[in-house]
Structure 1
Amino acid sequence: MPENLYSSIYEILEGKQLSISAITRELKEVGVNEHRLIMTGYLRALRDMKKLDEIDIPPSKVYRKIDTEGDNSQPDIYSLIAREIKHFDHNIGLALAVYVMTTILDRPVFKEELLKIGFTTKSINDQLSGPEHMIKESNNENLREYISGITKISIPPGDPAYEVSMDGSVLLEDANCLLVKILRLSLDMSGLTPRTKRTTIADFG
């Protein structure tokens, strides 16, 4: 997938709203030829990241730009991980999310944060009690201080926090892959890669 896809879509949607088919057609006219399945997933991801509005006009869904003038907000780390973690083996998904979050934030990750990503209390408990024990509850003495320092979301007092309980090198390859995907979603890389670069659905996912 060309890294200028995001900016190309924004240019196409300037002052109008278009269906997936219309967006795909106009992208082809500027030399960007992507499969409709890829475009559908990409547009929905932009919707989830609040970069585009999705409007249901049966039998189609149309998309339009969200006016972000003066808005300096950054993509939400929880939604970015939620967007990408589903493409990894579900057996390691929770541990992978915990590993990446603790690496990025330099602290244990709280249950409330994992719920925000999309994991359930049951999936967390199953992982804690499972034979592989890929994560563990943190006994970090600074948990109370961490909770008071988190202002982006509300963490309940006494909320449990987690760390990986296995050798992190086992998760390293998948973690690097996840971080690259998050980085690509977070940055405008238009003009930095060849427009002729092709991608597969596997690259997108």
Structure 2
Amino acid sequence: MNSNLKEEKTIMKHIIADLSREEKSISGLHKSLEDQGIVIHRLVLTGYLRALVDVGYLKEKEIKPSRIYSVLYNNHQDIYETVGSASMIYDEENAGDNALRMLFFLFNRPLFLREMERCGVELPRNYKRVTSQKRMEYIERLGEAGIKIPASNMMMEPLSSDPNVTLKILREMINLSMDLKRYVLAMPDYSQKTLD
């Protein structure tokens, strides 16, 4: 059950990341996902898209003979989901480490493991465990924000920072919050290039 939920969240993240780059029809999205190694039946993909429209993540418009899907901006993601989505768009393989760096930069404090889990990405691999005299203050403050942190939850900090990566992820966070596509000729493509 847990692996199915994880797989479904991964598919959802790929759909949203793909559609945040450009709007697509079901056929275009299906081909793009297959190119990324995600094999999903078109009817199942249609179900995912309809569900994501219903919950307010995507918008759908009909341009005959196709339905075109795009990301619905300002979909009320919290900061953790936004950082997670932006980190996935920028570099899926290192999304956990990049999400940790971004949250550490934004909050200027160590992060709890529970906070990293809220990002919806793989947990970071490169971090150091830390303790803080303000631990209980952080737990109390997060509790006031509706985030329950177990008293024994591990705290962590990133091992390194990269201002260029931070800026690129910040750009993706802004793009997820408001549609920048209409203002630029091409959105940045962070996919790794191969040398021939």
Report TM bin, short chain.
0.5 to 0.7
Structure number with bigger Rg: 1
SS in 1 for 2:149: coil
Matched, 1:155 2:160: no
Matched, 1:47 2:43: no
Q: Which residue of 2 aligns with 1:69?
A: none
Shift, 1:83, TM fit: 1.9
Q: 1:75-94 to 2 correspondence within 5 Å?
A: 75-86=77-88, 87-88=90-91, 90=93, 92-94=94-96
- Count the aligned residue pairs: 147
Q: Does the aligned pair in 2 maintain the 1:144–1:158 contact within 8 Å? A: no
Shift, 1:79, TM fit: 1.8
Q: 1:60-99 to 2 correspondence within 5 Å?
A: 74-86=76-88, 87-88=90-91, 90=93, 92-99=94-101
SS in 2 for 1:156: coil
* Higher relative contact order, chain-length normalized (CA < 8 Å, sep 6+): 1
Q: Identity over the aligned pairs, expressed in percent?
A: 19
SS in 1 for 2:118: helix
Shift, 1:190, TM fit: 7.7
Q: 1:117 aligns with which of 93, 116, 119?
A: 119
**Which amino acid is 1:50 matched to?**
G
RMSD of the TM alignment (CA)? 4.4
Matched, 1:139 2:120: no
Q: 1:108 aligns with which of 99, 107, 110?
A: 110
> Which string of whole-angstrom CA distances, capped at 9 and with x for unpartnered residues, describes residues 24-60 of structure 1?
9xxxxxxxxxxx349x88x96x939833378xxxxx9
Q: Does the aligned pair in 2 maintain the 1:111–1:162 contact within 8 Å? A: yes
Shift, 1:139, TM fit: 1.6
Q: Scaled by the length of structure 2, what TM-score is found?
A: 0.55
Q: Distance in 1 between matches of 2:71 and 2:155?
A: 38
Q: Distance in 2 between matches of 1:64 and 1:198?
A: 16
**Which amino acid is 2:87 matched to?**
I
SS in 2 for 1:117: coil
Q: Does the aligned pair in 2 maintain the 1:138–1:163 contact within 8 Å? A: yes
Unaligned 5+ runs, structure 1:
10-18, 25-35, 55-59, 67-71, 128-133
Q: Scaled by the length of structure 1, what TM-score is found?
A: 0.53
Q: Distance in 2 between matches of 1:181 and 1:65?
A: 13
Deviating above 4 A after TM superposition, structure 1's stretches of 4 or more consecutive aligned residues are 60-66, 188-191
Q: Does the aligned pair in 2 maintain the 1:78–1:113 contact within 8 Å? A: yes
Matched, 1:175 2:166: yes
Unaligned 5+ runs, structure 2:
1-18, 34-47, 61-65
